[in-house]
């Protein structure tokens, strides 16, 4: 479809158009709004071309004159700040696009620590109609017990000792933008109740104020706590949980995202860290990448970034990062821990023996992908074990 807008010169029956749109949705289970709009426009053109003469007498936008449909198509990836091409990340971006286009829906982002929940929230805000307004972060886990209400709702002058000026809370400061409640699962029961009331009424009352102030923002919340379980045991309010979880996104842990994502992330992180130090980005040695892909990453992307920053500091400006530049003992943990996590235990005796590895390779004609699948390992983990056990043998030509 050409960029810009299309004109419909003939009137269109609304009922027929609605039926075609419904049929398109059912048939395609469409995920991308721009693709849907392409098909809708084609359907409109088809209906306009075959409209009956009697239709021209109906009162409609087309009967009163021509109307214009404006279509804005995203150029490339709408979320370039979210690195990765794994199926988990592609699926996450599809859901992110849905909530970005709806500027009002509340979003709960769940996931382990270090999976980039705030980055996801910022990307949604940037791609939404609210992107020209502020994005305000509230770290619920870092709020002190004595100041938490002030941090959430603000105060007026004289509300307490030291309150020498009025201070707006995040819901007022965001003013048409987005408020991001990080680690919302750490809020106390008292604050949960006050937050629920604010979200229901869409108003806040500053400490010391006599009147409430209305706000208009989108709320995004994040947590590394299983709020469904916390709600079941009474640790989190059920009504607040459902108020926050109008639409839930799950940030996948790094260990589930595949080797290609780890390599892409590593390259992007190294480039960013090098730029911060005003030096060229070093290349990543193949053995280094192999070690990174073999590790389980319990700290997820944050741990990967810290590990690579340590490597860059230790490299002292070397043009290539190698295994030797990694933190002490990291390669050894990668060679054992990730294989254990694949097998679901921490007992080293559960690892495949040299005979197991040799046998699997021989049975699969030294095709590493098939042998790794038989052993329940990735190709990178099988490579590490072959290197450790010195299992030799060439794949037939």
Residues 263 and 138 reside in one and the same domain: no
Residues 110 and 201 in one domain: yes
Q: How big is the chain by its Cα radius of gyration, in Å?
A: 28
Most confident segment among 122-136, 146-160, 276-290, 354-368: 122-136
Is 180 within 8 Å of 138 (Cβ atoms)?
yes
- Backbone φ, ψ for residue 261 (5° rounding): -65, -40
Q: What is the dihedral of CA 116, 118, 122, 125, to 10 degrees?
A: 120
Q: What is the mean pLDDT of the chain?
A: 79
The number of beta carbons lying within 10 Å of the beta carbon of residue 72 is 11
Residue 233 lies in a domain: yes
Domain around 41: 4-71
DSSP state of 364: T
Q: Looking at the structure, do residues 16 and 65 belong to the same domain, yes or no?
A: yes
- In this prediction, residue 355 carries a pLDDT of 84
Q: Answer yes or no: do 238 and 290 share one domain.
A: no
* 9/132 same-domain check: no
pLDDT value for 208: 87
How far is 23 from 47, CA to CA, in rounded Å? 14
Kindly report, residue by residue over 240-271, the tens digit of the pLDDT.
Answer: 999 999 999 999 999 999 888 999 999 999 99
Question: Which of 216, 250, 284 marks a domain boundary?
Answer: 250
* Same structural domain, 190 and 269: no
Q: Tokens 């450790």 map to which residue?
A: 388
**18-22, 118-122, 150-154, range with greatest mean pLDDT:** 118-122
Residue 81 lies in a domain: no
- The DSSP bridge partners found for residue 179 are 136, 219
Average pLDDT over residues 19-43: 49
CATH number of the CATH domain containing 317: 1.10.8.60
Looking at the fold, whether 53 and 101 belong to one and the same domain comes out as no
pLDDT score of 318: 92
Three-class SS of residue 247?
strand
Q: Is residue 387 one of the residues assigned to a domain?
A: no
Interstrand relation of 67-71 and 4-8 (parallel, antiparallel or unpaired): antiparallel
pLDDT at 344 over 90: no
Q: Rounded to the nearest 5 degrees, what angle is found at the Cα of 276, between the Cα atoms of 273 and 277?
A: 95
Residue 35 has pLDDT above 70, yes or no: no
Check pLDDT > 80 for residue 4: no
Q: Final residue of a domain: which of 336, 351, 366? A: 351
Residues 114 and 222 in one domain: yes
Residue 239 counted as domain residue: yes
CA angle 143, 148, 153 (to 5 degrees): 125
**242 in the same domain as 148:** yes
Number of domains forming the structure of the chain: 3
Does residue 230 have a pLDDT over 90? yes
- Using 50, 70 and 90 to split pLDDT, how confident is the model at 275? very high
Confidence of residue 380 (pLDDT cuts 50, 70, 90): low
Residue 32 is predicted with a pLDDT of 42
268 and 235 both lie in a single domain: no
Q: Quick check: is 261 in a domain?
A: yes
pLDDT at 40 over 60: no
Could you say which of 250, 273, 289 is where a domain stops?
Answer: 250
Average pLDDT for 37-60:
46
Q: Is residue 65 part of a domain?
A: yes
**Does some domain include residue 203?**
yes
- Domain membership of residue 357 (yes or no) is no
Whether 155 shows a pLDDT value over 70: the answer reads: yes
Which string of DSSP letters, residue by residue, matches 50-80?
A: T--GGGGGS-SHHHHS-EEEEE----S-S-T
Are 165 and 281 contained in the same domain? no
Yes or no: say if 295 and 338 are a contact pair by the CB < 8 Å rule: yes
In which band, very low, low, confident or very high, does the pLDDT at 202 lie, cut at 50, 70 and 90? very high
> Which CATH number do you get for residue 174?
3.40.50.300
If one compares 392 and 225, the residue with the highest pLDDT of the two is 225
Pair (117, 233) in one structural domain: yes
Burial 250-285 (b: 16+ CB within 10 A, else e): ebbbbbebbbebbebbbbebbeebeeeeeeebbebe
């Amino acid at each position: 479809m050409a960029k810009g807008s299309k004109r419909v010169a003939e009137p269109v029956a609304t009922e027929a158009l609605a039926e075609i749109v419904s049929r398109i949705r059912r048939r395609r289970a469409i995920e991308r709004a721009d693709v849907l709009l392409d098909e809708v426009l084609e359907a409109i053109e088809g209906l306009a071309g075959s409209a009956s003469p009697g239709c021209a007498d109906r009162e409609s936008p087309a009967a009163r004159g021509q109307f214009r449909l404006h279509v804005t198509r995203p150029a490339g990836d709408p979320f370039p700040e979210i690195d990765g091409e794994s199926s988990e990340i592609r699926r996450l971006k599809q859901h992110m696009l849905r909530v970005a286009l709806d500027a009002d829906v509340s979003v709960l982002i769940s996931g382990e620590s270090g999976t980039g929940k705030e980055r996801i929230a910022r990307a949604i805000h940037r791609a939404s109609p609210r992107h020209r307004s502020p994005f305000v972060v509230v770290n619920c886990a870092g709020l002190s017990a004595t100041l938490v209400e002030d941090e959430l709702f603000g105060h007026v002058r004289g509300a307490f000792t030291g309150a020498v000026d009025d201070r707006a809370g995040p819901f007022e400061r965001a003013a048409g933008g987005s408020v991001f409640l990080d680690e919302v699962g750490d809020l106390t029961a008292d604050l949960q109740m006050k937050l629920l009331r604010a979200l229901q009424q869409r108003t806040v009352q500053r400490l010391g104020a006599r009147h409430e102030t209305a706000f208009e923002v989108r709320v995004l919340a994040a947590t590394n706590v299983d709020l469904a379980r916390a709600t079941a045991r009474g640790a989190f309010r059920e009504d607040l949980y459902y108020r926050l979880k109008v639409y839930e996104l799950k940030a996948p842990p790094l260990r589930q995202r595949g080797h290609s994502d780890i390599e892409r992330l590593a390259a992007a992180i190294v480039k960013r860290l090098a730029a911060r130090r005003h030096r060229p980005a070093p290349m990543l040695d193949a053995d280094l990448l192999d070690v990174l892909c073999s590790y389980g990453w319990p700290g997820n992307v944050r741990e990967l970034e810290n590990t690579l920053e340590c490597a860059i500091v230790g490299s002292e400006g070397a043009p290539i990062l190698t295994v030797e530049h990694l933190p002490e003992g990291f390669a050894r943990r990668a060679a054992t821990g990730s294989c254990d996590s694949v097998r679901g235990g921490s007992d080293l005796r559960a690892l495949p023996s040299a005979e197991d590895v040799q046998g699997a390779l021989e049975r699969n004609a030294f095709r590493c992908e098939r042998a790794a699948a038989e052993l329940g390992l990735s190709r990178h983990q099988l490579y590490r074990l072959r290197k450790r056990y010195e299992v030799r043998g060439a794949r037939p030509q």
